[in-house]
């Protein structure tokens, strides 16, 4: 306790704040990279005028509440007031579209990664660049706005992501970590900057010089400015937080997930499963061709990464668990929601390996991997199906991973990508054994979970802040191996052949019945 108090008093702590899809979380670590305090705030995106968005007011009220909860946690645990920090960083959900004019006014509501409204732009830019441009990417949103003749385009002075926006407001610096930047516009892996040839092609195509409006690209370890006086007041309206705190480059949640799972060097990978699900594989060599299902992004250090990103994961099963909980309450049950999840998830392992004739589609929003611009959650069963609770939950767990499986098959089968390890983190792994068993059966490879998996992205962001302050001459991969994960506890589960075969049987039925989901989108309004 005294050691932690001294670390806080001597500014030997590091703070990471991450804005996820359903939760904003702050994690404070000591100089041993141990989590010593945290705060959180729950929020939800809204569908406004057919656009998934978060309001500016929700962004800042959420961050302030999250930071306030962190302050309370520090005070309760250590009887000390947190006034300064050794270093800090901001991370957030990647991609999306935040466009500002010369007076720093937001021109249109924040368009998040969840929107699948840029299909035409995505296709045309992919053809122009010879490089896959997913619908979520900022450049796809910009070009779609151009195609739609949206009036605000001519007024754009700055275009950034959610993390880049917050960092800008806290420091005055218009910069972005390379991992997050690689979800705005393609990165050249040799220069570790935006691809110049593609910038020129875009300008010739649209008459817009992106060099004038995109954030400057920084790598892990670079200094990205300091918390300004106005920024400190935004974060902590009580005025107790001091300005001048060094800040590392703002990053996307994919990059912080790689850091949190020690998956930033070649032949390593990680899978993050929560509201959305994505797998990141650090490549040894370039892919042989362009795949619309595979995003090419980077680690926070700029190394090439193949990313399989799917918009939908646990949102649908969360709704079902809530419904089952309501049924339990009607019977007079009193329970903690995490206990309910644990009981249901563990019971799912008692179900049939192929789910016994049950099928579901977890599409709350569209899913580009399977070609759907919008979604309708859907559950089906055959008349003779074994309609048990175990099979029901197992079906929804399987469904949450099918789109990921389709994308990963491209890397493993078409491109013969080799992996030394793949590590899981996120809400899917809260029940670690269940999450690992189901994920392993989907990917047909052993999935490990670290003891730090529950800390997730905000902890990874705090580690990036610590790396900036303590890096010396080593790489991020070296720093993680030597200083952060040297004694990490890693757990794996045995891969079961029958479960792999069961998932593949479920996958086959899923793909054959996809036309039903597409019909539901067309008919059920």
Separation of alpha carbons 478 and 471, rounded Å: 9
Q: For the chain, percent helix, then strand, then coil, each to nearest 5?
A: 45, 20, 40
What per-residue confidence (pLDDT) applies to 395? 98
| Residue 283 covered by a domain | no
**CATH number for 127:** 3.30.420.40
User: Over 90: is that where the pLDDT of 450 sits?
Assistant: no
Say if residue 441 is in the same domain as residue 361.
yes
| Residue 220 covered by a domain | yes
User: Over 90: is that where the pLDDT of 420 sits?
Assistant: no
User: Over 80: is that where the pLDDT of 56 sits?
Assistant: yes
Query: How would residue 4 be classed by pLDDT, with cut points 50, 70 and 90?
Result: very high
What per-residue confidence (pLDDT) applies to 119? 92
Instruction: Give the residue from 230, 252, 274 where a domain finishes.
Output: 252
Say if residue 382 is in the same domain as residue 242.
no
| Residue 409 covered by a domain | yes
| Residue 307 covered by a domain | no
User: Over 80: is that where the pLDDT of 358 sits?
Assistant: yes
Nearest to 318 by CA among 340, 347, 346, 350: 340
Write out pLDDT tens, residues 362-408: 999 999 899 898 999 999 999 999 999 999 999 999 999 999 999 99
**Mean of the pLDDT values across residues 96-122?**
95
Say if residue 185 is in the same domain as residue 51.
yes
What per-residue confidence (pLDDT) applies to 455? 66
Say if residue 13 is in the same domain as residue 116.
yes
Residues in the chain: 525
Instruction: Give the residue from 252, 282, 307 where a domain finishes.
Output: 252
Separation of alpha carbons 160 and 340, rounded Å: 40
User: Over 70: is that where the pLDDT of 453 sits?
Assistant: no
Separation of alpha carbons 410 and 397, rounded Å: 22
Q: In what order do the strands lie in the sheet with 251-252?
A: 35-42, 23-29, 14-19, 87-92, 251-252
pTM: 0.85
Say if residue 344 is in the same domain as residue 243.
no
Distance spanning both ends of the chain, measured CA to CA: 57
Percent of the chain scored above 70 by pLDDT?
A: 99
Say if residue 319 is in the same domain as residue 245.
no
Rounded to the nearest 10 degrees, what angle do helices 196-206 and 138-147 cross at?
10
What per-residue confidence (pLDDT) applies to 389? 98
| Residue 183 covered by a domain | yes
Instruction: Give the residue from 252, 287, 305 where a domain finishes.
Output: 252
Domain count, the chain: 2
Instruction: Compute, in degrees rounded to 10, the torsion defined by CA atoms 432, 433, 437, 440.
Output: 40
Q: Which two structure tokens, joined as six digits, stand for 294?
A: 């595979």
| Residue 279 covered by a domain | no
Say if residue 82 is in the same domain as residue 164.
yes
**Mean of the pLDDT values across residues 277-293?**
92
What per-residue confidence (pLDDT) applies to 335? 94
**Mean of the pLDDT values across residues 157-184?**
98
3-class SS letters over 22-44: CEEEEEEECCCCCEEEEEEEECC
Contact 466, 36 (CB under 8 A): no
Query: How would residue 477 be classed by pLDDT, with cut points 50, 70 and 90?
Result: very high
What per-residue confidence (pLDDT) applies to 452? 64
Say if residue 77 is in the same domain as residue 155.
yes
Separation of alpha carbons 511 and 514, rounded Å: 5
Percent of the chain scored above 90 by pLDDT?
A: 85
DSSP bridge partners of 280: 270, 307
Q: Which two structure tokens, joined as six digits, stand for 308?
A: 């399989």
**Mean of the pLDDT values across residues 471-483?**
91
User: Over 70: is that where the pLDDT of 197 sits?
Assistant: yes
Contact 476, 256 (CB under 8 A): no
Question: What is the domain range of residue 12?
Answer: 2-252
Separation of alpha carbons 136 and 120, rounded Å: 12
| Residue 206 covered by a domain | yes
φ, ψ dihedrals at 455, nearest 5°? -75, -40
Where does residue 212 rank: exposed (0-12), middle (13-18), buried (19+ CB within 10 A)? exposed
Say if residue 228 is in the same domain as residue 324.
no
Separation of alpha carbons 256 and 16, rounded Å: 10
Say if residue 120 is in the same domain as residue 204.
yes
User: Over 80: is that where the pLDDT of 342 sits?
Assistant: yes
Mean pLDDT taken over the chain:
94
**Mean of the pLDDT values across residues 488-516?**
94
Instruction: Count Cα atoms within 13 angstroms, Cβ side, for 496.
Output: 12
Q: Is 130 left (phi over 0), alpha (psi -120 to 50) or beta?
A: left
Query: How would residue 418 be classed by pLDDT, with cut points 50, 70 and 90?
Result: confident
Task: Write down the residue that tokens 């896959």 correspond to.
Answer: 132
Please name the residues in contact with 274: beta carbons below 8 A apart, sequence gap of 6 or more. Answer: 20, 21, 22, 313, 314, 426, 427, 428
What per-residue confidence (pLDDT) applies to 480? 95
Write out pLDDT tens, residues 234-263: 999 999 999 999 999 999 999 998 999 999
Say if residue 235 is in the same domain as residue 321.
no
**CATH number for 376:** 1.20.58
| Residue 78 covered by a domain | yes
**Mean of the pLDDT values across residues 72-86?**
96
Say if residue 65 is in the same domain as residue 194.
yes
Write out pLDDT tens, residues 177-196: 999 999 999 999 899 999 99
**Mean of the pLDDT values across residues 119-123?**
95
Contact 301, 320 (CB under 8 A): no
């Amino acid at each position: 306790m005294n050691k932690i108090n001294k670390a806080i008093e001597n500014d030997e702590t590091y703070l990471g704040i991450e804005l996820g899809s359903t939760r904003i979380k702050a994690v404070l670590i000591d100089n041993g990279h141990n989590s010593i305090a945290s705060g959180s705030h729950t929020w939800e995106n809204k569908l406004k005028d057919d656009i998934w968005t978060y309001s500016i007011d929700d962004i800042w009220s959420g961050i302030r509440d999250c930071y306030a909860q962190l302050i309370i946690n520090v005070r309760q645990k250590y009887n000390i007031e947190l006034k300064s920090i050794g270093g800090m960083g901001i991370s957030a959900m990647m991609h999306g579209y935040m466009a500002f004019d010369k007076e720093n006014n937001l021109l249109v509501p924040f368009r998040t990664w969840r929107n699948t409204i840029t299909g035409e732009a995505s296709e045309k830019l992919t053809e122009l660049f010879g490089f896959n441009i997913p619908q979520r990417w900022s450049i796809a949103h910009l070009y779609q706005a151009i195609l739609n003749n949206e009036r605000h385009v001519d007024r754009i002075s700055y275009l950034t992501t959610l993390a880049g926006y917050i960092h800008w407001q806290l420091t005055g610096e218009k910069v972005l970590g390379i991992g997050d930047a690689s979800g705005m516009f393609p990165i050249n892996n040799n220069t570790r900057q935006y691809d110049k040839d593609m910038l020129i092609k875009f300008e010739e195509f649209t008459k817009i010089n992106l060099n004038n409006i995109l954030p400057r690209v920084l790598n892990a370890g670079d200094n990205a400015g300091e918390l300004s006086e106005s920024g400190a007041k935004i974060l902590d309206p009580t005025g107790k937080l001091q300005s001048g705190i060094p800040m590392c480059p703002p990053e996307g949640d994919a990059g912080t997930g790689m850091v949190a799972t020690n998956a930033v060097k070649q032949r390593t990978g990680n899978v993050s499963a929560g509201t959305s699900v994505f797998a990141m594989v650090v490549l040894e060599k370039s892919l042989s061709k362009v795949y619309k299902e595979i995003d090419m992004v980077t680690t926070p250090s700029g190394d090439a990464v193949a990313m399989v990103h799917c918009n939908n994961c646990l949102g649908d099963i969360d709704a079902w668990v809530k419904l089952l909980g309501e049924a339990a309450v009607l019977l007079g049950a009193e329970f903690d929601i995490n206990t309910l999840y644990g009981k249901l998830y563990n019971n799912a392992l008692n179900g049939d390996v192929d789910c016994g004739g049950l099928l579901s589609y977890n599409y709350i929003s569209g899913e580009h991997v399977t070609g759907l611009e919008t979604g309708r959650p859907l559950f089906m069963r055959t008349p003779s199906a074994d309609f048990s609770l175990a099979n029901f939950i197992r079906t929804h767990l399987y469904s949450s991973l099918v789109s990921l499986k389709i994308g990963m098959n491209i890397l493993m089968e078409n491109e013969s990508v080799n992996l030394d390890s793949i590590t899981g983190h996120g809400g899917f792994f809260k029940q670690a054994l269940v999450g690992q068993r189901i994920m392993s059966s989907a990917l047909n490879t052993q999935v490990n979970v670290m003891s730090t998996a529950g800390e997730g992205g905000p902890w990874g962001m705090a580690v990036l802040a610590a790396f900036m302050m303590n890096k010396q001459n080593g790489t991020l991969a070296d720093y993680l191996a030597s200083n952060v994960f040297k004694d990490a506890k890693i757990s794996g589960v045995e891969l079961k052949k029958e479960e792999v075969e069961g998932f593949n049987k479920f996958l086959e039925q899923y793909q054959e019945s996809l036309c039903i989901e597409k019909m539901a989108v067309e008919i059920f309004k």
